[in-house]
Structure 1
Amino acid sequence: MSPFSAASPSPRARRTALDLGAFVTASPSSFHAAREGARRLAAAGFTELRETQAWDAANVAGDRYVLRDGSLIAWSAPAGADTATPLRIVGSHTDSPALKVKPDPRYGAEGLTQVAVEIYGGPLLNSWLDRELRLAGRLALADGSTVLVDTPGLLRVPQLAVHLDRAVNKDGLHLDPQRHMQPIIGFAGLDVLEVLAHHAGVRCGEIVGMDVVTADAQAPALFGADEEFLASGRLDNLSSVHAEVEALLAVAGGAREATATGPAPIAMMVANDHEEVGSATRSGAAGPFLEDVLVRVHAALGGTEATRRQVLASSLVLSADAGHAAHPNYPERHDPVTRPRLGEGPMLKINAQQRYATDAVGIATFVAACEKAGVPHQHFVSNNAMPCGSTIGPITATRLGMTTIDVGITLLSMHSAREMCATADPLLLQQACAAFLRG
């Protein structure tokens, strides 16, 4: 028992939080996150399917996964799955706000080499100052192949000293995204492409294109008097990607009984890219990836468009994306009644403007899954004067017509280069996702 708290994280919760930290470290970009999820699935016996190969009943059966760019879909089909088998899907996204390297990264002044970047998503810009940053992502080569690249902490965006901005603590910090956010990587004369080529193990002349972003180089860590909290980059939304991968692994391979309303479902996860910039890409939730996979799996089982639509009508989606905990220093920014807190389990995200897809039927479904798993749950609604963001949930519901529920763990410092959650919450989300997938 902790000398400081009667509610210290359990050993299992600590292990899960540390494993989430390891997942984040291995996943500095969306491409790395999709492949780290695939690596874990393959190690547990899942088999990769390629979109370019023919799919039939034999190769969609059992435990499978498909990669598309920075996105991953995987599923575990129970024995005897057929054209009437419904689906339980947990969805998330692999990308996070960052600085993205421009096609021509050459930049610099005052005898220093900088990396030309643009802003990806909606980061808290000040949080990217005065910290070491990694470069990570995908390089396209002249022969048509691609390779992943991941560097150690090579970059830094230095803040202007207070001596040169005497009003900063009174008037606030004002950052121009073009002038003030270009990170330093070395002295003048350094070739950024040479650095990327070196860390990717290719020749500089082979690189013809890149999708490369920055990531915090500091390792995730537990902190607090009793290590009650986890500090890490990319918790929005790798906290959900990690939870759904581990939940699918927990469900796969075991006997699943029929539910009260029908056969055991096909358990599926989807981790989409590009949520932070609107999802309207071939690997984003507004793109065709999930629908492509659903159509092909159902057709391989012998279904028709009519039977597929019938199955989708009986299927459910859990959109898992981190949300805001009530902030102790800014209590007025939150709803005065609904106060989601760190460490009190996943929250149901509800919005009257349908920025979240949750409805009453979805609430009942998720509450039942939490109760089955013995997991506490809470609610999130926005302060009426503070419009909320959105998720892949409404997009997925609109594209496919399935009942969709928006949930997620609570965070503070969301969209910072280094966010925080309660150590207990990643395990609670994972357990709730597993109960949901089991049906």
Structure 2
Amino acid sequence: MSSSHSDQYIDAYMNFMDQSPTSYHAVAVMADELRQAGFHPQKETDPWDVRPGGHYVVRDGAMIAYVIPPQTTSASTAERESVGKHSPKNKNDGGRHTAYRIIGAHTDSPALALKPTPQSTTSDGWGQLAVEVYGGALLNSWLDRELCVAGRVVDEHGAVHLVRTKPIARVPQLAIHLDRKVNEGLELNPQKHIHPIWTVDDDSADIMDVIAESAGLSSKREIFGWDLKLVPTQKAAKFGAQSQFIASGRQDNLSSVFAGFHVLRHLDTDAIPGDDILVFVANDHEEVGSGTRSGAAGPFLEDVLHRTAVALGYGPDDEARMMARSVCISSDAGHSVHPNYAERHDPDTRPMMGRGPMVKINANQRYVSDAVGEAIWQRACEAAGIRHQAFVSHNAMPCGSTIGPITATRLGMVTVDVGIPLLSMHSAREMSHEYDCWALSEAMCALWTMESLEYGQ
């Protein structure tokens, strides 16, 4: 591992996490950097742009960026007219030698979502915020942390404004003197015990005024809708004997989002072999099932791939050929062996921090890595010269899932589930290893630049 190269990557990764308290912020940061790098913003309501180079599409808290290499040429109007219903007579030969190389991740993480009636006052004068738990948060980790309100609001004209307040709230834990048995097992009722405090004896305090000010609006009356969450404000930090560990919230799954985005942002298009189209998709709402218009179970990715093929002049059969040749890497953080709970992991497959990203295996297809996908992933890792390992869950402890099975089911393409190992997943402050974060990006770069992704049919 090149020390200077990896250090720069890790610094950029930590900065990205600090700038991305919500999925909307993460997408805004990526869109801004891609635009500066020469990518073309693509509106879904506009004709589809497939000129050579980079493009990106934003849908709420999700983004898809794609790169059309110089070798991929679209059929002109004259060509389409001359061949009628047949494929364009260009060197792509109707999609028979073109494929999508897709890397997928998700932008969301567990949080505390602000409710429609956002605040209340107790009989004792405590001003509290009303929240709903978003995703599978490790609730105890959210106690005793300074929280801000972040997300987006929409004004009466439909304009979207990002919000990120100062540290403004906290969920205080009950003192041990008032619960002597707390260390025997902490029980938290999300409705009763997860009410952040933000003021006391102040009847004039209105959280919507604070949110409006953060959004750059003159009054809370200008806010007609919101998607807001309470998130920790502590910045990402390194620690450990060699400062090799990274502590931050949202590493599930900004570790994957940043890796894919960073590689695509800095990739030299001349390094893209052949005429394969590179695609990076960062869906929202994975932590709550992906069943939204910006989630993996929605049509976002399918729409983008289809419109790209059509804009290139490909017919239905040509597009089907493209899909059959395509590959998707679904990247989502997984679990490292925990030294204090080693028995919770498979006794033979022991993924560890610092040993590289993992390919994730599950016989019941909670992860969809198969022999073909594993081989493609291993080729990418070896081409990148990185260490890599495998993850399988303990038989008595069913694993979670990812966007991988959803993507494979919707698109019918070879998909492999991968990700870096974490400790404290879904905590307000998760732990990773710098080597794994950097190595994941190297493997992604190799996947996008390998000469061929041919595999047996």
How does the TM-score come out when normalised to structure 1? 0.94
1:207 corresponds in structure 2 to 223
Task: Report 1:174-323 matches (<5 A).
Answer: 174-187=187-200, 188-189=202-203, 190-202=205-217, 203-257=219-273, 263-323=274-334
Q: Give 5+ residue unaligned stretches, structure 2.
A: 74-93, 451-457
1:313 and 1:209 map into 2 onto residues whose CA distance is 42
2:64 corresponds in structure 1 to 73
Counterpart of 2:121 (choices 94, 100, 108) is 108
1:252 and 1:107 map into 2 onto residues whose CA distance is 53
Q: Secondary structure at the match of 1:210?
A: strand
Report the alpha carbon displacement of residue 10 of structure 1 after superposing the two structures with TM: 2.8
Q: Does 1:356 pair with 2:367?
A: yes
Contact 1:375 1:428 in 2 (8 A): yes
- What one-letter code is carried by the residue in structure 2 that aligns with 1:289? F
1:33 corresponds in structure 2 to 26
Counterpart of 1:435 (choices 443, 446, 456) is 446
Counterpart of 2:417 (choices 406, 415, 427) is 406
Q: Does 1:136 pair with 2:150?
A: yes
Q: Secondary structure at the match of 1:103?
A: strand
- What one-letter code is carried by the residue in structure 2 that aligns with 1:103? P
2:342 and 2:254 map into 1 onto residues whose CA distance is 26
Could you give the per-residue CA deviations for residues 84-111 of structure 1, whole angstroms, max 9, x where no partner exists? 2211000000000010001110223221
Counterpart of 1:23 (choices 16, 32, 37) is 16
Could you give the per-residue CA deviations for residues 122-150 of structure 1, whole angstroms, max 9, x where no partner exists? 00000000011121111011222221101
Report the alpha carbon displacement of residue 341 of structure 1 after superposing the two structures with TM: 0.4
1:56 and 1:160 map into 2 onto residues whose CA distance is 57
Q: Secondary structure at the match of 2:221?
A: helix
Contact 1:68 1:283 in 2 (8 A): yes
Q: Does 1:97 pair with 2:88?
A: no
Report the alpha carbon displacement of residue 56 of structure 1 after superposing the two structures with TM: 4.6
Could you give the per-residue CA deviations for residues 165-224 of structure 1, whole angstroms, max 9, x where no partner exists? 11111x311100011001111223211111100111112101121101122100100001
Contact 1:63 1:252 in 2 (8 A): no
Q: Give 5+ residue unaligned stretches, structure 1.
A: 1-6, 258-262
Could you give the per-residue CA deviations for residues 301-356 of structure 1, whole angstroms, max 9, x where no partner exists? 00112211110000000000000000000000000000000011100000000000
2:355 and 2:8 map into 1 onto residues whose CA distance is 18
RMSD over aligned CA atoms reads 1.3
Q: Secondary structure at the match of 2:282?
A: strand
Contact 1:88 1:268 in 2 (8 A): yes
Q: Secondary structure at the match of 1:421?
A: strand
Q: Secondary structure at the match of 2:238?
A: strand
1:3 corresponds in structure 2 to none
Report the alpha carbon displacement of residue 29 of structure 1 after superposing the two structures with TM: 0.5
- What one-letter code is carried by the residue in structure 2 that aligns with 1:115? L
Contact 1:56 1:301 in 2 (8 A): no
2:91 corresponds in structure 1 to none
1:30 and 1:249 map into 2 onto residues whose CA distance is 18
Task: Report 1:369-408 matches (<5 A).
Answer: 369-408=380-419
Residues 391 and 427 of structure 1: is their aligned pair in 2 closer, same or farther, counting only changes over 3 Å? same
Q: Secondary structure at the match of 1:114?
A: strand
1:295 and 1:149 map into 2 onto residues whose CA distance is 34
1:63 corresponds in structure 2 to 54
Q: Greater Rg, structure 1 or structure 2?
A: 2
2:50 and 2:253 map into 1 onto residues whose CA distance is 33
